[in-house]
């Protein structure tokens, strides 16, 4: 219904003609359509024009709402229309949306009752940055790692078929997911498992960095191909109803085969605007990848054309066979800075909502661990021709961008394919190379069998640099690296290290290049300790700890603090406080989690009245467990307090310090636990005190 208002001149001249303007009645009561959308049902009530306006309002809210706390801005700006179309056609939570990685669900969260909490996302007690089943019934499957959506969605579709229910299962996966082996395992099973499956290939040519490999090239060819399969009758009828549908059909029939390329933005232009010829990227592709797997392919279509998206999804909803819709979106759409720097705006901290500029580092700020790793890799590669760098679509996050820039012929990005990357490195190691594989601790879990079967079993000299070992506070449990000590300690042939500072990281990388065994180096996210990095790294003795501070033999109660990696800083600060309260404190930097320094550990175990281990890792199976195992073997009866993370998944928060304080990985808690143990007057038997 159209409402009208009269505009009359302010001078009250009744003879002046009345000007009538059409207005939207909803706008009388709401300043924005976004303000009235409290759930998916409200989206369905909006007209196409209102949805277009809502899309712009959502983009502005994303840009302004994430400016202070940061987040995955670019990916979410790219899926605004797609998400609106999904909620216009389908009905969650009855229908299921399964998002690959799910870092692009901010718009989905806004439309499912969580818009008022957008500015809390990735903050303490705020919204999670990914889909989370415990957060909303509209989040049917949690994620954070790539390549899982197709398999999960297929499992839901199979369960639906067995139950005889009618839910629509829609899987939204990116072009980067197709560099991942799990995705192909799912694609191989879809047509043999169900007849009703809707996949949306969200193609923006980026994962975090620019996509690499043959699959990326294949999709590029599909984008420019004006002809695919012969025009089916049902799809022809569907196309005729679309804007420019007649033109699309005309272009389609000009070719020997169908309309799939013609309905894209490229295909809908007049023939004079775009010649149907190869684009310099190797010629035209075809949808054989999907259709030979029994999955109908439709597209590419403009992912920012709301009417086209809605009509296409309505068509897919009626299909009685699996279908994949290839949607072209623009990462960062609507924000110039995000379009100009897509990798930076994939995920970032605070920024200026108008310019996109990010705060400059304060003078004197220590370097990031990832940059120290990358710069060290360059130095080592310049002097050692056997060194190559490998990353899995994370050149900036891992610091490998430094090697890519300085020595591109020694840098390899395998895409989001950690399993392949690890075995690829193993193959290179058999030919005399020392590959440095830079993968986050949490993502290396995906390649565990490859580490076991292909690297460790064959005792190959692959060097693993595991960034984000410890907390990734804003991202939460999908990205915390709290399990690698446990899953590596049990494997034979492993050398595993944890530097206390950036200079020691360089020493460990240098030491790793001199080994003929698999080497794993874990280090945290963020800024380092501010220790200057030597021009020439030092070769470390394998399995040898560093005694930072010895006992003073002053007759006081003796406490030995074993602070692993970044926890050595906490150990040293705790030692200073304990000394002021009358304790004799030794501080040891273990350096190695395998093999641990048995001699030094046993010596301080027997000399101390209390041993404390501190680690940025779960207690179960971690460094403290290794110390306990040694004490059991050597019959050391000294009491042991272990400080680390509990046997649970740790939530997200604004900062890692908040989580450390909450779970007791702090100077204050270390001091308190030491004092409490002496107050309890323990018996002379080995006792385990777990602190988390």
pLDDT by residue (tens digit) across 105-130?
999 999 999 999 999 999 999 999 99
* pLDDT value for 176: 79
Confidence of residue 555 (pLDDT cuts 50, 70, 90): confident
Residue 361 per-residue DSSP state: P
**Cβ-Cβ contacts under 8 Å for 568 (sequence gap 6 or more):** 500, 548, 587, 589, 614
Asked which of 337-346, 373-382, 398-407, 603-612 is least confident by mean pLDDT, the reply is: 337-346
The phi and psi torsions of 380 (rounded to 5 degrees) equal -70, -40
Sign (positive/negative) of CA torsion 259, 263, 264, 269? positive
Separation CA 14–CA 363 (nearest Å): 68
pLDDT at 158 over 60: yes
pLDDT digits (tens, 9 = 90+) for 315-363: 999 999 999 999 999 999 999 999 999 888 988 999 999 999 999 989 9
What number is the average pLDDT over the span 599-603? 98
Give the chain's mean pLDDT.
86
Separation CA 169–CA 643 (nearest Å): 44
Confidence of residue 243 (pLDDT cuts 50, 70, 90): low
* pLDDT value for 553: 79
pLDDT at 256 over 60: no
What number is the average pLDDT over the span 410-415? 96
* pLDDT value for 286: 53
pLDDT at 145 over 80: yes
Q: Of 617, 640, 636, 634, nearest to 687 (Cα)?
A: 640
pLDDT at 523 over 80: yes
- The tokens of 408 are what? 């591109």
Geometric angle at alpha carbon 377, from 371 and 378, rounded to 5°: 95
pLDDT at 31 over 90: no
Q: What are the structural domains of the chain?
A: 28-225+285-336 (3.40.50.970), 369-522 (3.40.50.970), 546-691 (3.40.50.920)
Asked which of 39-43, 88-92, 262-266, 351-355 is least confident by mean pLDDT, the reply is: 262-266
Separation CA 665–CA 660 (nearest Å): 5
Going by their DSSP bridges, the two strands 583-589 and 296-302 should be labelled as: unpaired
The separation between CA 261 and the C-alpha centre of its own chain, rounded to angstroms, equals: 32
* pLDDT value for 250: 47
- Which residue(s) pair with 613 in the sheet? 562, 642
Give DSSP secondary structure letters for 517-541.
S-EEEE--SSB---PPPPSSPPPPP
The residues annotated with a catalytic role in the active site are 331, 418, 446
* pLDDT value for 62: 97
Cα dist from 296 to 84, 122, 224, 345, 489, whole Å: 23, 38, 18, 33, 46
- Which residue(s) pair with 390 in the sheet? 412, 437
pLDDT at 151 over 70: yes
What number is the average pLDDT over the span 388-414? 96
Give DSSP secondary structure letters for 262-330.
TTSTTTTS-TTTS-SS--SSSS---THHHHTTT-EEEEEEETT-HHHHHHHHHHHHH-SS-EEEEEE--
What percentage of the chain has pLDDT greater than the value 70? 82
Whole-model pTM: value is 0.85
Residue 94 per-residue DSSP state: T
* pLDDT value for 692: 55
Q: Which residue in this structure is represented by tokens 């290049």?
A: 513
**Cβ-Cβ contacts under 8 Å for 459 (sequence gap 6 or more):** 493, 516, 517, 518
């Amino acid at each position: 219904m159209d409402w009208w208002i009269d505009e009359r001149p302010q001078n009250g001249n009744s003879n002046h003609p009345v000007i009538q303007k059409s207005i939207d009645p909803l706008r009388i009561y709401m300043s924005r359509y976004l303000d009235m959308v409290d759930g998916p049902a409200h989206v369905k009530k909006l007209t196409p024009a209102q949805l277009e306006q809502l899309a712009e309002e959502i983009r502005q809210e994303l840009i302004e709402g994430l400016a202070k706390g940061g987040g995955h801005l670019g990916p979410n700006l790219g899926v605004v229309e797609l998400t609106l179309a999904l909620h216009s056609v389908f009905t969650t939570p009855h229908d299921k949306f399964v998002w690959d990685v799910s870092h692009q669900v901010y718009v989905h969260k806004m439309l499912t009752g969580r818009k008022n909490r957008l500015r809390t996302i990735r903050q303490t007690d705020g919204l999670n940055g990914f889909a989370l089943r415990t957060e909303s019934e509209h989040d049917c499957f949690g994620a954070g790692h790539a390549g899982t959506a197709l398999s999960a969605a297929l499992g839901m579709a199979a369960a639906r078929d067995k139950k005889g229910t009618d839910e629509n299962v829609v899987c939204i996966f990116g072009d980067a997911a197709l560099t991942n082996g799990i995705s192909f395992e799912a694609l191989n099973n879809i047509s043999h498992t169900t007849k009703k499956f809707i996949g949306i290939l969200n193609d923006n040519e980026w994962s975090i960095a620019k996509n690499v490999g043959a699959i990326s090239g294949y999709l590029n060819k599909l984008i420019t191909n004006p002809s695919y399969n012969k025009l089916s009758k049902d799809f022809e009828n569907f196309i005729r109803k679309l804007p420019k549908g007649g033109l699309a059909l005309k272009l389609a029939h000009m070719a020997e085969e169908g309309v799939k390329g013609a309905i894209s933005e490229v295909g809908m232009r007049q023939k004079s605007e775009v010649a149907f010829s190869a684009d310099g990227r190797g010629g035209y592709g075809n949808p054989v990848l999907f259709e030979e797997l029994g999955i109908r392919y439709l597209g590419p279509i403009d992912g920012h054309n709301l009417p086209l998206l809605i009509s296409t999804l309505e068509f897919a909803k009626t299909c009685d066979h699996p279908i994949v819709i290839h949607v072209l979106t623009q990462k960062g759409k609507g924000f110039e800075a995000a379009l100009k720097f897509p990798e930076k705006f994939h995920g970032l901290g605070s920024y200026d909502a108008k310019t996109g500029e990010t705060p400059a580092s304060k003078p004197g700020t220590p370097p990031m661990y990832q940059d120290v790793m990358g710069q060290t890799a360059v130095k080592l590669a310049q002097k050692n021709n056997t060194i190559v760098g490998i990353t899995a679509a994370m050149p900036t996050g891992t610091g490998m961008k430094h090697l890519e820039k300085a020595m591109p012929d020694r840098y390899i990005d395998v895409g989001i394919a950690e399993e392949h990357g690890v075995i690829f490195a193993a193959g290179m190691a058999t030919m005399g190379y020392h590959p440095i594989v830079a993968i986050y601790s949490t993502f290396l879990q995906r390649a565990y069998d490859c580490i076991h079967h292909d690297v460790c079993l064959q005792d190959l000299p692959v060097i693993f640099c595991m960034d984000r070992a410890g907390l990734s506070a804003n991202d939460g449990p999908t990205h915390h690296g709290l399990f690698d000590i446990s899953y590596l300690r049990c494997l034979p042939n492993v050398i595993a290290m944890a530097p206390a500072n950036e200079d020691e990281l360089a020493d460990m990388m240098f030491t790793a290049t001199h080994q003929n065994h698999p080497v794993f180096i874990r280090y945290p996210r963020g800024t380092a300790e501010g220790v200057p990095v030597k021009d020439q790294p030092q070769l470390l003795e394998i399995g040898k700890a560093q005694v930072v501070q010895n006992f003073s033999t002053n007759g006081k109660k003796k406490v030995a603090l074993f602070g692993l990696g970044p926890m050595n800083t906490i150990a040293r600060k705790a030692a200073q406080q304990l000394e002021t309260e009358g304790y004799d404190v030794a501080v040891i930097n273990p350096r190695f989690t395998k093999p641990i320094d048995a001699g030094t550990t046993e010596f301080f175990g027997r000399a101390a009245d209390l041993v404390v281990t501190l680690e940025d890792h779960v207690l179960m199976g971690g460094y403290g467990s290794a110390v306990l195992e040694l004490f059991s073997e050597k019959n050391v009866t000294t009491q042991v307090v272990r400080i680390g993370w509990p046997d649970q998944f740790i939530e997200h928060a604004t900062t890692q310090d908040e989580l450390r304080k909450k779970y007791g990985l702090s100077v204050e808690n270390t001091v308190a636990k030491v004092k409490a143990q002496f107050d309890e007057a323990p018996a002379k038997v080995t006792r385990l005190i777990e602190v988390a």
